Each structure stands twice: as C-alpha cells, then as structure tokens.
Amino acid sequence: MDTLGGAEFVPETTYLNTSTCGLLPRRAVEAVRTLAAENGTGQRDGAGSFDSVDAARASYARLVHTPVERVAVGNAVAVHVGLIAASLPPGAEVLIAEGEFSSVVTPFAVRGDLKPRYVPLESLADEVRPGTALVAVSAVQSGDGRMADLPAVRAAAATHGARTLLDVTQAAGWLPVDAGAYDYTVAGGYKFLVSPRGTSFLTVTEEAQEHLVPIHAGWVSGEDIWASTYGPVARLAHSARRFDEPTGFLAYHGAEQSLAVLEEIGVERIHPHVTALAGRFRAGLLSLGHEPVAADGSAVVAVPGLGDLQPRLVEAGVKVAVRAGNLRAAFHLYNSTADVDRALDVLAG
C-alpha cells in the first residue's frame, strides 16, 4: 500500500509519530518561509493575512462537517478548554475519562470550585447522571489510541441534560468527525491536521455560544476587526469568531496550505488507508508475541511493556513515542506498508 501524500510529504525516516507531531506538507513549509522572509524584509504591511486565517477556518469547518460560523481559531487546546471551564457555574460536575490528556482536564481542575469526576473510558456513558453538567472526552485517547463509544456518550448526555466537549486532536484529519453533534469540540492542528504548532480550533453550536463569555476577546474578536483596535470592542463578532485568540500568522499561513492538502485527498480516502496500516501493525505485533492495547479501528497503536525498545527503533530510523509506559505508533496518509514492515522488522530484532 503506497502513501497518499505524493510529493507533498518527504519523510527522511520511517515516521510513525503523528500522535506527537504531524509532518508538514511542502506547500505549508513554503508558505511559512515566504511569510517569514517578507516579515524580515518589510515587504508585507503587518505580520500576515487574515485571509489565510479565514481560509484555514473554512477548510477546518468542511473537514469536521460544521458551518464556518461555528469555528473559532486559536493557538492551543488548553486555552479553548479554559474558556469552556470558565463558563461553568461553581459546583458543576465535569465527567472525564481516567488518563485523559492534560489539556482536557487541567482547566477544570485548577478552578477549584468545580467537581471533576474521573471514570474509566469504557464506562463513561454509564456514569453520566442528572447532576452532570459537562462530559469531556477525547475521540481517540492520546496515551493508547482507545476510542470512546461516542454515540453512547451523546445519548447519555442528552438524557441527563449534560453538555458535551469532544477533543478531536488525535482524530480530525483521519477519522470522520461530525462536530455539530457536540456542544463543543477542540483540536490541536499540529498532529493529524499536519499544520504548524500554534494552530488550534474550537467549534461551538449556536445554542452553546450563548453560554460562553469571550474572556480573552481582543480586536480580532470584533465584528469589524479594523474598527475594533482601540478601546473596548463595540461589537463582538456575531459568529464563533468572537472566541478567537490573537492570531499567530506564521502558523496559519502554513495551516491554510496543510488543510487544503487534506481536503484535496479527502478523509474518506485517508481513513481506510491509515486503519489498514494500523491493522497490519497490530497483526504483526501479535505474530511477534506482543499484545497491543485493544483499539481496533484506531490509527494509533500502543503496546504495553515495549517502551524500552523505543531507542532501538529510533536508532534504526523508525520514529515512535513512549506514552503512559506504552510504545506508541501512529499512522497517517504519508505512511505505507513498507513503514509498517520496517518497524516490525526492527522489533523482531
């Protein structure tokens, strides 16, 4: 099975580490270089273009099947989650999966007047109760690739009147995502969205937007940006853009190109490609006597007890990670069956 990225991606290693950081396509690298050069020579009036930011916003909206008016942009998932945490009343219960990624957990924990409750991922839906204000979970767990039973979580939340927050950082870009099915979704752009660090996305349904206060609003949050540069912003954007963070233009000039590449190839092609590669890797691990964490259908494969083999793999040019004690590999559009077989060969010694 060949790669899907074609000439856009030029890995010089067997790169199986997208869950840590995705590879940038050539055109994204060139866009960042061009803007940096222009900023260094005074050729551009300002640091970058809001057109690129809006193009990235629109691409992301299409990738996760939600109206662009529901999408806010930022620099980090933790900031988006912090905005949501700030909207909850004192004493609100937030139901969270055990071992969830810190950015989804810590903004609720540090408030001190909320009630985070941690339960096993497998029983998340069963643990939603009438007093639950919010269920926060990742579509794909960072540590081991497990996937939440999202239909069951949504149904339980609807039954008990709880809002839903879904982190799609380890999913968007390879897994079909319907952001409109959740009150909030968040995504870091630098993993499976193959965008530069410093890009992140928040989606908010129209109804949920009424419950968020744009506590970090600045001039970029104004309905008319260039009329909002001095004094209090007179009119905040009517869309989710009022929740935008100040923009890192270098990152978003790259993201505009990266997300365009994903759209051109299509998640409908990427999804079966990466799941087939991950399935081949799981089967190969079992044949070697190693049992991965049960996460069929995930692009992320984790193997308990093999973390000490990561240096051997890296030395052989196979990039993987160690997370929560697991050896973790993640497959994306620029990977092939040759990559899978190379990793298995190294593990076989």
Band of the pLDDT at 247, cuts 50, 70, 90? confident
Q: Domain containing 16: what range?
A: 6-25+267-347
Q: 138: which strand partners?
A: 167
Mean pLDDT of 234-238: 94
Please indicate, yes or no, whether residues 71 and 197 belong to a single structural domain of this protein.
yes
Which of 247, 264, 281 is the endpoint of a domain?
264
The share of the chain scoring above pLDDT 90, in percent, equals 93
pLDDT at 6 (0 to 100): 86
Q: Please say if the pLDDT value at position 349 is more than 90.
A: no
| Residue 51 and residue 100 share a domain | yes
- Burial zone of 277 (CB within 10 Å; 0-12 exposed, 13-18 middle, 19+ buried): buried
Query: Does position 203 have pLDDT exceeding 90, yes or no?
Result: yes
- The helices-and-strands tally (H runs, E runs) of the chain is 11, 12
- What's the chain's Rg over C-alpha atoms? 21
The answer on pLDDT for 1 being more than 80 is no
Number of compact structural domains in the chain: 2
- Is the residue at 183 inside a domain? yes
As a whole number, mean pLDDT of residues 17-27 equals 98
Q: How far apart are CA 142 and CA 298, in angstroms?
A: 11
Residue 36 counted as domain residue: yes
Which of the pair, 167 or 324, is modelled with greater confidence? 167
Do residue 298 and residue 315 come from a single domain? yes
pLDDT of residue 199: 98
The mean pLDDT value for 267-293 works out to 97
Per-residue pLDDT tens digits for 68-109: 999 999 999 999 999 999 999 999 999 999 999 999 999 999
CATH, residue 254 = 3.40.640.10
- Range name among 106-110, 223-227, 239-243 with the lowest pLDDT average: 223-227
Residue 139 within any structural domain of the chain: yes
d(CA 90, CA 113): 5
- 218 and 70 in a single domain? The answer is yes
Is residue 144 included in any domain, yes or no? yes
- pLDDT greater than 90 at residue 42: no
Answer whether residue 5 shows pLDDT above 90: no
| Helices (H), ranges, the chain | 26-41, 50-63, 77-86, 102-109, 124-127, 150-160, 206-209, 249-265, 267-287, 310-315, 337-347
Average predicted confidence (pLDDT) for the chain: 96
Residues 300 and 153 in one domain: no
Residue 236 lies in a domain: yes
Binned at pLDDT 50, 70 and 90, residue 304 comes out as very high
pLDDT score at 159: 97
User: What is the pLDDT, as a whole number, of residue 272?
Assistant: 98
Q: Are residues 182 and 247 in the same domain?
A: yes
State the pLDDT at residue 45.
72
How confident is residue 334, by pLDDT bands cut at 50, 70 and 90?
very high
pLDDT confidence bin for 250, thresholds 50/70/90: very high
Co-location of 37 and 111 in the same domain: yes
